[in-house]
Amino acid sequence: MGYIDELNESQLVAVKNIDAPTMVIAGAGSGKTRVLTFRIAYMIEQGVDPFNIMALTFTNKAAREMTERIGEILGNGEARNITMGTFHSVFSRILRVNADRLGYPSNFTIYDTQDSKSLLKDIVKGFKLDDKAYKANNVLGRISSAKNNLISPDAYEQNAEIQAEDKMAKRPEMARVYKAYANRCFNAGAMDFDDLLFNTNVLLRDFPDVLNYYQQKFKYILVDEYQDTNYAQYLIVKKLAALYENICVVGDDAQSIYSFRGANIQNILNFKKDYPDFKLFKLEQNYRSTKNIVEAANGVIARNKDQIKKTVWTDNPEGSKISVVRNLTDNEEGKVIINKIYDKAKAEGLSFNDFAILYRTNKQSRSFEESLRKLNIPYKIYGGLSFYQRKEIKDLLAYFRLTANQNDEEAFKRVINYPKRGIGKTSLESVVIAANKYGVSTWDVISNFSQYPVAINAGTKKKMSEFTSMIKSFSAQLNTLDGYMLAQEIARSSGILKELHTTKDKGPEEVERYQNIEELLSGIKSFIESQREIESKSLSEFMLDIALLTDADVDKDEEKNHVTLMTIHSSKGLEFPNVYLVGLEENLFPSQMSLNSRTDLEEERRLFYVAVTRAKTNCTLSYATSRFQWGNLITAEPSRFIEEIDPKFLSHETPTRGGGRSLSGRASNFEQPHQGGLNRSFTSTSLKPINKVSSKPKVKGSETLDLKVGYNVEHNRFGRGKITKLEGTDANRKATIFFPRHGAKTVLLRFADLNVTDL
**What pLDDT does residue 550 have?**
55
- CA 475/CA 477 separation, integer angstroms: 5
pLDDT tens-digit profile of 436-484?
888 899 999 999 998 998 888 999 999 999 999 999 999 999 888 888 8
Q: For residue 421, how many C-alpha atoms fall within 13 Å in the half-sphere facing its CB? A: 24
| Closest of 357, 231, 258, 230 to residue 604, by C-alpha | 258
Q: Quote the distance between the C-alpha of residue 494 and its chain's center.
A: 32
Question: Residue 530 region, left (φ>0) first, then alpha (ψ -120 to 50), else beta?
Answer: alpha
**What pLDDT does residue 693 have?**
35
How many other CB atoms are found less than 10 A from the CB of residue 727? 10
**What pLDDT does residue 1 have?**
62
Q: Please, are residues 223 and 264 in contact by the beta-carbon 8 Å criterion?
A: no
- Would you please indicate which residues are annotated as catalytic (active-site) residues? 32-33, 224-225, 255, 614
Q: Quote the distance between the C-alpha of residue 480 and its chain's center.
A: 36
Q: For residue 506, how many C-alpha atoms fall within 13 Å in the half-sphere facing its CB? A: 14
pTM of this prediction exceeds 0.85? no
Question: Residue 272 region, left (φ>0) first, then alpha (ψ -120 to 50), else beta?
Answer: alpha
Q: Please, are residues 606 and 569 in contact by the beta-carbon 8 Å criterion?
A: no
Q: Please, are residues 569 and 320 in contact by the beta-carbon 8 Å criterion?
A: no
Q: For residue 367, how many C-alpha atoms fall within 13 Å in the half-sphere facing its CB? A: 24
**What pLDDT does residue 502 have?**
53
**What pLDDT does residue 684 have?**
28
Q: Please, are residues 213 and 162 in contact by the beta-carbon 8 Å criterion?
A: no
**What pLDDT does residue 527 have?**
76
- CA 106/CA 536 separation, integer angstroms: 15
**What pLDDT does residue 717 have?**
67
Q: Is the dihedral of CA 662, 667, 671, 675 positive or negative?
A: negative
All residues at 6 or more sequence positions from 641 whose CB lies less than 8 Å from its CB, including other chains: 300, 584, 589, 590, 605, 608
Q: Starting at the earlier edge strand, list the strands of the sheet with 699-700.
A: 699-700, 753-756, 712-715, 719-727, 734-739, 743-748
pLDDT tens-digit profile of 589-604?
999 888 889 999 999 9
E strand or H helix that includes residue 486 = helix 483-493
**What pLDDT does residue 95 have?**
96
**What pLDDT does residue 751 have?**
67
**What pLDDT does residue 592 have?**
86
Mean pLDDT of the chain: 85
Q: Distances from the Cα of 195 to the Cαs of 84, 230, 264, 525, 754, in angstroms? A: 20, 13, 19, 30, 63
Pairing verdict, β 355-359 and 626-629: unpaired
All residues at 6 or more sequence positions from 338 whose CB lies less than 8 Å from its CB, including other chains: 368, 371, 372, 375, 377, 665
pLDDT tens-digit profile of 307-337?
999 999 999 999 999 999 999 988 899 999 9
Q: Please, are residues 360 and 380 in contact by the beta-carbon 8 Å criterion?
A: no
**What pLDDT does residue 389 have?**
78
The segments of the chain whose pLDDT lies below 50 read 503-504, 533, 554-557, 657-701, 759
**What pLDDT does residue 60 have?**
82
Q: What share of the chain is helix, strand, coil (3-state, %, to 5)?
A: 50, 15, 35
